[in-house]
Amino acid sequence: MRNLKVIMAYRGTAYHGFQMQNNGITVQEVTQRCVSRVLNEPVIIHGCSRTDAGVHARRFCFSVQTSSQIRTLGFVRGVNGELPKDISILSCEEAPPEFHARFSCKGKEYAYLLHCSESKDPFTTDLACHYRRPFHAELVEAAAQRLVGVHDFRSFCSACREDADTVRQIYSIRLRQQGEKTELLIRGNGFLYNMVRIIVGTLLDINEGRIPAERLDAILAAGDRQFAGRTAPAHGLYLNRVFYDDAVLDPE
Per the document, the length of the chain is 252
Q: Which of 52, 152, 205, 246 is catalytic?
A: 52
Mind giving me the DSSP string for 35-95? HHHHHTS----EES----TT-EEEEEEEEEEE-----HHHHHHHHHHHS-TTEEEEEEEE-
Strand partners, 183: 113, 176
52 is a catalytic site residue:
yes
Whether residue 154 contacts residue 130, with contact meaning beta carbons closer than 8 Å, is answered with no
The torsion angles phi and psi of 213, rounded to 5 degrees, stand at: -60, -35
Closest to 8 (Cα-Cα) out of 68, 64, 53, 71: 64
Question: What would you measure as the largest C-alpha separation in the chain, in angstroms?
Answer: 59
Provide the annotated active-site residues.
Answer: 52
